[in-house]
Chains A and B, each alone.
Chain A
Amino acid sequence: MRRWLLPLLFGLAVAGIAYEAALIATPRVLMAAAVRRVSALGGVNVFRATPLATASARTIVRPSPDLAYSSCVFDLTEGPVTIEVAPVPAPYWSLSVFDARTDVAFVRNNRGSGGGPIRIAVANPGQDVPPGIETVRVEGARGIALIRILVEDRARFAAIDAARRESRCGRLR
């Protein structure tokens, strides 16, 4: 039995390290899966305007049925990406940018923008962005930019839907 003591202690140490490593890896793994699901529907560096969520929505957990979402999977492998959000006729809208680890790198809503459009560049550290463009630096090549728009009345959705399609996500040129 004594011959098993050290191997068992070794096994316990491995269990502890594996537990922490699995926890640390979980956000990246789940974010990568979400990036794959979203980009499979609309590609990368382009906003995809999703319909209002219903029971058949399976792309993202806990979708809010009161919000209209537009999502853009950005890929910085070939350079920075610009995101332009057009104002929409709704009491609340916001842009949030999530990096590969699921951290929020940027959030601004219509109050913060004074009701006007939002224009930012998303870049990795070290990537060149021309001066004059507000720049959000993120770790990792891929992430998700998400526009949320409050739809208080589904009857007004058509006007909101038309306005939100003016938003742009694409390679910085």
Chain B
Amino acid sequence: MRPWARYALCGLGGLALGVGGAVMSVRAGAFGAGATIGPWTTGTDYGTAGASAYTRAVVALRGLLALPAREARYYNAAVDDAGRPLDGRCRYAVRGGEPGGAWWSLTLYDHDGYLVANPAGVYSVESAAVPPAERSAWTVAVAPGRQGGHWLPSGGIDRFELTLRVYLPADGGHGNLPRAALPRIERLGCP
């Protein structure tokens, strides 16, 4: 083989490896991979010029047009408290309190970041739906079939994710919520 052919071959291989590697690592990246707090991941540099090329790429894929931290904080979970992937066929209890902000919402998405079809047409639970007496200790049931109380249908899909949004965070979005202020995600059972 001629020398130029060796360079061309290795150069093409390197190009494929580099682009392929970037696509794979961005696709594997979690929305908000800046910090991991229990099952939750979050970041404070969405939509800002200071974010790294990798963060910007992941946010563009997973949360395009996300708001900056002072306006809203996004916490995303793809696993339960025990670190197991969230499975739409299982039942979960998500227990939380006041995350400190003007209001919050908990939304269920599929792995690609889209809402999950369900007969009830329920996609999220927001703070306004939680009576004042429950606000410091609320429970949301996540399950494919209807549950009593606050219910977030998982549609029975293979893998789902939960996103907690805290709007107008009390600290201006500078700090991450501590583990104790973020909801716990307990798997109750699987078929």
Contacts and interface: CB of A to CB of B under 8 A. Distances in A.
Contacts of A4: 6, 10
Residue among B15, B54, B64 with the highest chain A CB neighbour number at 10 A:
B64
Residue among A4, A14, A17, A57 with the highest chain B CB neighbour number at 10 A:
A14
A53 B6 CA distance: 53
B56 A14 contact: no
A19 B121 contact: no
B18 A31 contact: no
B124 A65 contact: yes
Contacts of B18: 14-22
Contacts of A34: 64-65
B19 A18 contact: yes
A58 B65 contact: no
Interface in B158-179: 163, 165, 167-168
Residue among A26, A62, A65, A109 with the highest chain B CB neighbour number at 10 A:
A62
Nearest to A62: B113
A55 B65 contact: no
B128 A11 contact: no
Interface string B48-81: 1100011011011111111110110000000000
Nearest to B57: A26
Contacts of A109: 71, 168
Given A27-B56, A57-B114, A144-B65, A11 B14 contact: yes
